A and B are shown apart, each in its own frame.
Chain A
Amino acid sequence: MELRINRRSLIVLAAVGALSASSFAVLRPEPGGASSHREAPMIAGDPRNDNTDLYAFVSPDKPDTVTLIANWIPFEEPVGGPNFYTFDTKSRYNIKIDNNGNGRPDITYQWTFRDEDKRGNSTFLYNNGPVTSLDDPNLLYRQRYTLKKYDAKHGWTTIVKDGVVAPSNVGPASMPDYAKLRGQSLRKLPGGGVTFAGQADEAFFLDLRVFDLLYGGDLSEVGQDTTKGYNVHSVAIQVPKNDLAVKGDAKRNPVIGVWATTEKWSPDGYKQVSRLGQPLVNEVVVPAGLKDAFNSLSPDKDAGIPAVVKRVTEPELPKLIEGIYKIPAPKTPRDDLVQIFLTGIAKANGPIKADLNSQILNKDVDPKTFRPSEMLRLNMSVPVEPKPNRLGLLAGDAQGFPNGRRLGDDVVDIALQVMEGAARTGKLVDALAAGDKVDANDRPFQTTFPYIPLPSAAAVNTR
């Protein structure tokens, strides 16, 4: 992952987002003489291998289970055909769970994909006629996936073979009932649970310009959902809580840490190129010069990088806000932010006096092996909130971010408040109450797995 791609870092992406194909993605001849100097492509956008979002929450309709959703490929233009978006068939897409707090994965779910392409050379079309089911012969191109699970006891086991990726939504003429296609794409897991891979609506909502703050701008020009109308590619899995808990016991050990990674193939083995736990981590945790390092590391290394820790304890954003809005920046070092971003919230970890979502709270965890690390932490025992508040924990809704992350959590507004110390004081900073002025996704979430809305089939600029 690089700054441009990870959607948490849309700061710059907003700036250069318009550097589009027409001007760049062409071969560059050399200026002075092509005979002397070969020009290989420079680092290119690699959206298929860049994690953009991660969600982890207790399933509202099945409270004995947890749902994990990871997204890739932001800003999929719905009418992007005929070159529709796909998972990279040479990469490994992972969701990892650390339930004992040592920063290393105890459980890994890994999706890998392959193409099933019946187009031959005769057509470039995605389908030749209406697609009314996933095995419809009119669907000429589809991807299939294998889902493997790793845990220490069983090693790697294959839990789904030949799963079908829900196709790109190419519009009502081709796919008159897209919801049916998605329904057919869900696969039950042995031992309980269900999984999904496919295109989905971009459920993240924010105004990217909120981060202009970091570059000397202000919050006057916000209120537009920058991601509205775009699609992403998602993988999702819903499993019994006990599947993820230490010793299979979610009652004694309800806290898990979750992050997603992407590993790319190389001649020398697979290399992790992207990593994502909490949203907005690039804005508030990882300094620009360390983003590449951060993306290649596993969380157990985080605490060994002083610059990352310092960025959390001495954050930049509150100082910028103080400069513009005269809201005093909270005193540093910010141990409350360490709790939120690196250890999880537990009384033993810092000034936020709550025992919520640090693995250190798990009864069967040895505190001596606990290691601060950046991941999305969820206490699975917090009951489902029937009326979720978009501000999550800060509004007293302990089921929401930063306790896990639900699709509807307004992470930008929450993060702004958290940076201003709201998690420690328990009081929202009114002057920033409006945040980025984008409070909800434009499309409603579904009530059953995988919850994330169906992909749009309308061009973004026609909406």
Chain B
Amino acid sequence: MRDTLRPRSRARTVAGTVAGVLAVAVAVTAGATFLPASEPRPVLTTTTAAVPAAGAGVYGPAGGPGSVKALQDRLRRLPGDHQAWAALGTAYVQQARITADPAYYTKAEQALGRAARLAPGDFAVLTGRAALAAGRHEFAEAARLARRATEANPYGAAAYGVLADSSTQLGDYAEATRAVRRMTELRPGVSSFTRASYDAELRGDTARARMLMEAALDDAFTSEDRAYCRYYLGELALRAGDLGAAERAYGEALRASPGFLPARAGLARAAALGGDLERAAAGYAEVVGRLPLAQYVVEYGEVVRKLGRDPSPQWAVLRAQKDLMAANGVRDDITWAEFEADHGSPDAAVRHAKAEYARNPNMVAADALAWALHKAGRSREALPYTREATALGWRNALIAHHRGVIEKASGRDANLFSSLATEYNPRFDPALPSLARFT
């Protein structure tokens, strides 16, 4: 068990130092960002529970405004209910995702720790701990726990979901495919179809990815899940250069769930790639004002820079965020590897990329390491990594572009990959690399 006190006390210190930049944004975030305007609604709802049998995926008697509070009340009455502890822990993991406030991971860890002390081998407890580890980007640990959960309950779909997610991050695509297949068999629906779609996309089968995302949309019951599926249909279109279809899909996502921020970012992205940089910058300003996620901040900064303005305010926000996340025990080397390679210190980029690749040897990490090495003047060293990044057939214009550049810098024929980048996405813009990164 991690020492839960240490990260929290450090977090306070760091939070103090970056308060001027971030505190307001994060506070606003927690209350307002992704929450649809129509909330709260009394209709039955899905949740994002990772622990099916622990009841975390619950809808139920409406009018339970403080969901976490309801669990806490129950646990005061029944402190031996390990499933409720698991559900509470899972609830905190979800809260962390919703609010982008990693402090919830500490709470999740405490609740799941209680659950684990009561019933260490219970599959719901294991699945909750796996979800927490995945949320913290500790994918090896997540995969290990998820595997144990599937041994305890070979029919529990949620654990296969975490196993698929973490295997993808670990670059074990065969395992991810198997887990997704099993999950789909056990629980066809939005959770498994969205993952199967991603799996197909990573293997370059865009048509199947789209079909599965549409099937997920068909199954999606809550407006938020519908927005999620619409958004990724938009992303699939955008990555293929069809900006019109992308904008329509983002718009539909927002109609499904007006507060759904990723779709607002998507609209800004489509505007930028379509050449309307002013509209894009205004869109990003709004998005980042609500939720200063690193991804959005980098995209904003790149658009600002392309407009000929100074992106340093964006970069400052980013660095503050980096400190805050690190203080809370969330490692995110990949973001900084990509950022430093494109906009900062290539040597720092290499350090981050190596750390990331050592932990999570996936295609994105391989690409980031290759690009960082190239930027640091080590293009030959970059070759095996950029080849690895393109091996699975993913139709990712940025990665193909990187390979073309690196092959060329290494004195090899780069034409194939440069043309692939254009084939994958005719609207790809190397000056806006982060807009081509998948979300």
Residues of A within 8 A of B (CB): 2-5, 9, 11-49, 73, 75-77, 79-80, 83, 85, 88, 90, 212, 215-217, 226, 230, 264-268, 271, 273, 288-293, 295-296, 459-461
Contacts and interface: CB of A to CB of B under 8 A. Distances in A.
Nearest to B154: A293
Contacts of A85: 44
Contact of B81 (A15, A23, A31, A42): A15
Given A24-B91, A24-B94, A292-B52, A29 B189 contact: no
Contacts of A26: 34-36, 98, 224, 257, 259-260
Contacts of B409: none
Contact of A32 (B44, B215, B331): B331
Nearest to B88: A16
B190 interface: yes
Contacts of B15: none
Nearest to A43: B158
A18 B80 contact: no
A311 B157 CA distance: 23
Given A2-B53, A212-B78, A268-B185, A20 B34 contact: no
A41 B260 CA distance: 14
Nearest to A21: B45
A289 B96 contact: no
A23 B186 contact: no
Contact of B62 (A20, A267, A273): A20
Given A215-B81, A267-B212, A296 B60 contact: no
B45 A35 contact: no
B97 A19 contact: no
Given A20-B45, A22-B39, A35-B335, A45 B59 contact: yes
A151 B116 CA distance: 48
Given A23-B98, A35-B438, A46-B189, 6 more contacts: A21-B41, A43-B158, A76-B44, A273-B187, A289-B53, A296-B155
B81 A216 contact: yes
Contact of B153 (A12, A77, A289): A289
B66 A18 contact: yes
B298 to A, nearest CB: 7
Query: Which 6 interchain pairs have the tightest Cβ spacing?
Result: A18-B64, A28-B97, A17-B60, A12-B55, A44-B46, A33-B335
Contact of A44 (B42, B152, B155, B221): B221
A222 to B, nearest CB: 13
Nearest to B360: A36
A34 B265 CA distance: 12
A77 B42 contact: yes
A42 B87 contact: no
A39 to B, nearest CB: 6
A268 B184 contact: yes
B75 to A, nearest CB: 8
A141 to B, nearest CB: 15
B397 to A, nearest CB: 15
Contacts of A21: 39-41, 43, 45, 222, 224
B48 A31 contact: no
B65 A45 contact: no
Nearest to A459: B42
Interface string B180-201: 0000111111111111101000
B80 A215 contact: yes
24 contacts: A5-B57, A12-B53, A12-B55, A16-B55, A18-B61, A19-B70, A20-B40, A23-B68, A29-B97, A31-B97, A32-B325, A33-B295, A36-B169, A40-B165, A42-B94, A44-B47, A45-B221, A75-B60, A83-B41, A215-B83, A264-B219, A289-B122, A460-B61, A461-B63
B62 A43 contact: no
B294 interface: yes
Contact of B97 (A18, A39, A88): A39
Contacts of B69: 18
A274 B334 CA distance: 41
Nearest to A32: B332
* Best-buried of A3, A16, A23, A48 by chain B (most CB within 10 Å): A16
